[in-house]
């Protein structure tokens, strides 16, 4: 197949882009001709800059060549010249064209049949700019939906009835995230991904750490992220923060922790859960995204949403486990994610594309005219 992925706002280090890049690479390795197209990121307005300055976060720097997960794959990519919708002239004729964001779903729906049968890879909703009222109309477009978690399948069908959907759950990248069996750290250590979006719950994690330190005063904290910490949401002075680490460095950070925090308020899936568990690090998580499924049956600790007290108690619990108890939790986390790989996921994703092509191919669309 000739396959085109259409992105909405540049190439980035988000978890969603990591998944798209992985599938693009896997499909290319299977002999498909793959291209990724995106518009550039929107340039901050003067209002955006003034808001950032008032909040104490400084001038927003525009980096035209930001690092991204697509830097790590060999799939061709193309950036159109300005911040506008992708149209027919931007997209080659192909067998499949895949939308990856609610705005791109509208663009892809408007492309001519020559651009390929149409699919919609939907990974999330709820972050700023993709509220539910904007997302729901895209589910009724003439696109075959592929999504990543059962809760998203249920949500789509709640609004749209029993429409065809392909469920393709994410997997742990066991080539990049792994660790040998180990014991607890010499000093109790936890970590989390520092994100500035309110939906990611960084404030919850920080408050949980503050509360946990009342009972575990020597608790160490490790964090990483693609953006520098906000002055309005600072890390503790003794925290170790790593900005834009490589996959190899992230793997080592996961493996240096006794537990990894997943404090999200809203999440499509929660890829860091899989990555940490693949590095044999138990996860303490809120019931966002796929966390209830991934942390079930002793593979991690699920805590109440919006409740830093409950998360702090879980941190203390993990810190006080014996070596034997912690090792059992670590092994359960690893065993949960090691039985399903990205090759398995790529099999399902590829099958979903074939299904979309067979049920909505350009030839059948033209024959119907």
* Lowest-confidence region among 9-18, 112-121, 122-131: 122-131
Nearest-angstrom CA–CA distance, 356 and 163:
13
Residue 51 has pLDDT above 80, yes or no: no
Sign of the dihedral defined by the CA atoms of residues 184, 189, 195, 200, in that order: positive
Nearest-angstrom CA–CA distance, 136 and 130:
10
pLDDT of residue 362: 45
Beta bridge partner(s), residue 283 = 260
pLDDT band at 125 (very low <50, low <70, confident <90, very high): confident
Nearest-angstrom CA–CA distance, 172 and 179:
13
pLDDT of residue 196: 93
Nearest-angstrom CA–CA distance, 210 and 98:
44
Q: Nearest-CA neighbor of 20 among 41, 36, 1?
A: 36
Percent of the chain with pLDDT over 90: 80
Beta bridge partner(s), residue 7 = 38
pLDDT of residue 130: 72
pLDDT of residue 15: 87
Section 89-115 average pLDDT: 97
In this predicted model, what pLDDT tens digit does every residue of 183-241 receive, in sequence order?
Answer: 999 999 999 999 998 999 999 999 999 999 999 999 999 999 988 999 999 999 999 99
Nearest-angstrom CA–CA distance, 35 and 177:
26
* Residue 178 and residue 274 in contact, taking contact as beta carbons nearer than 8 Å: no
* Residue 276 and residue 260 in contact, taking contact as beta carbons nearer than 8 Å: yes
In this predicted model, what pLDDT tens digit does every residue of 257-299 receive, in sequence order?
Answer: 999 999 999 898 999 999 999 999 999 999 999 999 899 889 9
Beta bridge partner(s), residue 79 = 38
Nearest-angstrom CA–CA distance, 282 and 261:
9
Residue 313 CB partners (closer than 8 Å, separation 6+): 212, 303
CA distances from 277 to 12, 255, 261, 363 (A): 24, 9, 11, 45
Rg (CA), the chain: 21
Average pLDDT of the residues of the chain: 92
In this predicted model, what pLDDT tens digit does every residue of 321-369 receive, in sequence order?
Answer: 999 999 999 999 999 999 899 999 999 999 999 999 988 754 444 433 3
Q: Nearest-CA neighbor of 70 among 8, 21, 112, 136?
A: 21
Residue 102 CB partners (closer than 8 Å, separation 6+): 122, 125, 130, 134, 135, 138
Residue 47 has pLDDT above 80, yes or no: no
Residue 254 has pLDDT above 90, yes or no: yes
Q: Would you give the DSSP letter of residue 342?
A: H
Give the residue ranges of DSSP H helices in the chain.
15-29, 46-54, 102-110, 132-135, 150-160, 202-212, 247-255, 271-278, 291-294, 308-319, 323-338, 342-359, 362-367
* Residue 72 and residue 21 in contact, taking contact as beta carbons nearer than 8 Å: yes
Domains of the chain: 2-171+342-367 (3.40.50.2000), 189-338 (3.40.50.2000)
Count CA atoms within 13 Å of residue 156 on its CB side: 28
Residue 177 has pLDDT above 90, yes or no: yes
pLDDT of residue 364: 42
Section 144-158 average pLDDT: 94
pLDDT of residue 9: 85
pLDDT of residue 366: 40
Nearest-angstrom CA–CA distance, 269 and 66:
24
* Residue 281 and residue 177 in contact, taking contact as beta carbons nearer than 8 Å: no
pLDDT of residue 361: 53
In this predicted model, what pLDDT tens digit does every residue of 19-39 receive, in sequence order?
Answer: 999 999 999 999 999 999 999
Report if pTM > 0.75. Answer: yes
């Amino acid at each position: 197949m000739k396959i085109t992925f259409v992105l909405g706002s540049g190439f980035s280090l988000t978890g969603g882009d990591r998944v798209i890049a992985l599938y693009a690479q896997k499909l290319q390795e299977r002999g498909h001709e793959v291209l990724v197209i995106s518009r550039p990121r929107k340039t901050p307005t003067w209002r955006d800059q003034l808001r950032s300055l008032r909040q104490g976060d400084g001038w927003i720097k525009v980096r035209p060549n930001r690092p991204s997960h697509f830097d790590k794959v060999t799939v061709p990519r193309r950036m159109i010249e300005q911040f506008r919708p992708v149209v027919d002239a931007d997209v080659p004729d192909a067998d499949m064209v895949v939308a990856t964001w609610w705005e791109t779903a509208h663009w892809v729906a408007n492309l001519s049949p020559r651009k390929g049968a149409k699919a919609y890879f939907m990974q999330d909703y709820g972050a700023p700019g993709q509220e539910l009222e904007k997302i729901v109309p895209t589910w009724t477009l003439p696109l075959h939906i592929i999504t990543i978690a059962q809760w998203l399948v249920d949500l789509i069908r709640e609004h749209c009835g029993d429409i065809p959907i392909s469920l393709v759950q994410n997997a742990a990248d066991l080539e990049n995230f792994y660790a040998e069996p180990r014991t607890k750290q010499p000093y109790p250590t936890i970590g989390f991904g520092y994100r500035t979006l309110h939906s990611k719950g960084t404030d919850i994690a920080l408050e949980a750490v503050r509360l946990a330190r009342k009972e575990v005063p020597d608790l160490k904290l490790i964090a990483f992220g693609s953006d520098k910490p906000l002055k309005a949401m600072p890390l503790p002075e003794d925290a170790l923060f790593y900005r834009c680490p490589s996959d190899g460095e992230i793997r080592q950070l996961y493996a240096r922790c006794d537990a990894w925090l997943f404090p999200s308020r809203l999440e499509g899936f929660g890829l860091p859960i899989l990555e940490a568990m693949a590095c044999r690090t138990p996860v303490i998580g809120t019931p966002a995204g796929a966390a209830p499924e991934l942390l079930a049956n002793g593979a991690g600790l699920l805590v109440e949403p919006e409740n830093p007290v409950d998360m702090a108690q879980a941190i203390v619990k993990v810190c006080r486990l014996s070596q034997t108890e912690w090792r059992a939790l670590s092994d359960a986390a690893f065993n949960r994610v090691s039985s399903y790989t990205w090759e398995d996921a790529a099999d399902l994703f590829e099958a979903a594309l074939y299904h979309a092509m067979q049920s909505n191919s350009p030839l059948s669309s033209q024959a119907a005219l």
